[in-house]
């Protein structure tokens, strides 16, 4: 017997604007969205997770679980992000006393804020603009079929405002389709090509930051899934799902379940 893990690829429900392309989510605290979130949680509940892992660095474990305990005690109001809206709700409904933080993204990590290394070795965005390689930037159409208005904010990030309303369960079905996950992953091979001669800013960023971060998330998952009875649900940005699942599969140490097997079910009663 092996531990079981299921990865739920998610959009960021609170619109943090941390990605190159950011899907503009309407207010998930609105009554209609709250009903949809409850329905989504009921579907995920049938997975019967014994642990719920979320996209926060382990250094944030105490803070996240203080919030979760406050939610259990009725003193904390759920915020808009998926950790609260999906993770906390589901954890409470299945009787968990804590959630697990498994990301690798810390403000004091030099591989994140780059204070201790030459930024030019990793700044593929700057290099591409200065060396006429902007054609290698990921294009939104390459990994998403959602139509919407686009605009850039002051940081240069692009926001996509969808033209049509999409129920949350439909959105999560779309995000977790194998072809969607692969398309999301594939764009990093274009980024890796950015560079000239002995300069490899694209490959440096993809290898030293992106691959390394996801590999460390995989390792953090292994640290919380020691028992063959573990059924862990990982809720994480959809861009991470392909690589983490690949690492889990190739380790041959886990049973991997597909969230689509649960998202296609009819809504169950509470």
Using N-to-C axis directions, what is the helix angle for 212-222 and 238-251, rounded to 10°? 60
Tell whether 95 is covered by a domain.
Answer: yes
pLDDT for the residue numbered 144: 66
Q: What is the dihedral of CA 12, 188, 178, 19, to 10 degrees?
A: 10
Tell whether 49 is covered by a domain.
Answer: yes
Residue with tokens 């950790």: 83
- Which pLDDT tens digit goes with each residue over 140-184? 666 666 666 777 777 767 788 888 899 999 999 999 999 999 998
* Whether residue 253 has pLDDT greater than 90: yes
- Which pLDDT tens digit goes with each residue over 80-128? 999 999 999 999 999 999 999 999 986 545 445 444 445 568 888 889 9
The pTM is what?
0.90
Tell whether 183 is covered by a domain.
Answer: yes
CA–CA distance, 256 with 94 (Å, rounded to integer):
20
Tell whether 270 is covered by a domain.
Answer: no
pLDDT for the residue numbered 4: 98
How many independent structural domains does the chain possess?
A: 1
Tell whether 223 is covered by a domain.
Answer: yes
- Which pLDDT tens digit goes with each residue over 203-230? 999 998 899 999 999 999 999 998 999 9
pLDDT for the residue numbered 143: 64
Tell whether 268 is covered by a domain.
Answer: no
Tell whether 27 is covered by a domain.
Answer: yes
Half-sphere exposure of 141 (CA within 13 A, CB side): 0
The pLDDT confidence band at residue 268, using thresholds 50, 70 and 90, is very low
Tell whether 51 is covered by a domain.
Answer: yes
Residue ranges making up the domain that contains 120: 4-263
Q: What is the dihedral of CA 172, 174, 177, 183, to 10 degrees?
A: -120
């Amino acid at each position: 017997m092996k531990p079981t893990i299921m990865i739920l690829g998610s959009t960021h429900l609170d619109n943090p604007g941390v990605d190159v392309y950011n899907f503009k989510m309407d207010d998930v605290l609105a009554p209609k969205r709250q009903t949809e979130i409850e329905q989504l949680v009921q579907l995920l509940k049938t997975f019967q997770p014994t642990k719920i892992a979320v996209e926060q660095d382990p250094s944030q474990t105490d803070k996240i679980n203080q919030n979760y305990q406050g939610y259990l005690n009725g003193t904390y109001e759920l915020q808009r992000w998926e950790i609260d809206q999906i993770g906390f709700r589901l954890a409470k409904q299945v009787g968990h006393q804590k959630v697990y933080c498994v990301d690798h993204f810390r403000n004091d990590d030099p591989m994140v804020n780059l204070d201790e290394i030459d930024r030019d070795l990793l700044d593929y965005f700057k290099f591409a603009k200065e060396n006429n390689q902007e054609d290698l930037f990921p294009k939104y159409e390459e990994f998403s079929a959602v139509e919407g208005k686009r605009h850039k904010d002051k940081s240069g990030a692009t926001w996509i405002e969808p033209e049509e309303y999409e129920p949350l369960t439909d959105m999560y079905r779309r995000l977790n389709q194998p072809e969607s996950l692969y398309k999301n992953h594939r764009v990093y091979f274009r980024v890796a090509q950015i560079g000239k001669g002995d300069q490899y800013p694209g490959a440096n960023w993809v290898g030293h930051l992106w691959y390394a971060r996801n590999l460390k998330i995989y390792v953090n998952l292994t640290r919380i899934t020691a028992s063959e009875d573990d059924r862990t649900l990982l809720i994480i940005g959809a861009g991470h799902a392909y690589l983490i699942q690949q690492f889990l599969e190739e380790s041959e140490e886990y049973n991997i379940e597909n969230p689509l097997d649960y998202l296609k079910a009819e809504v169950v009663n509470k």
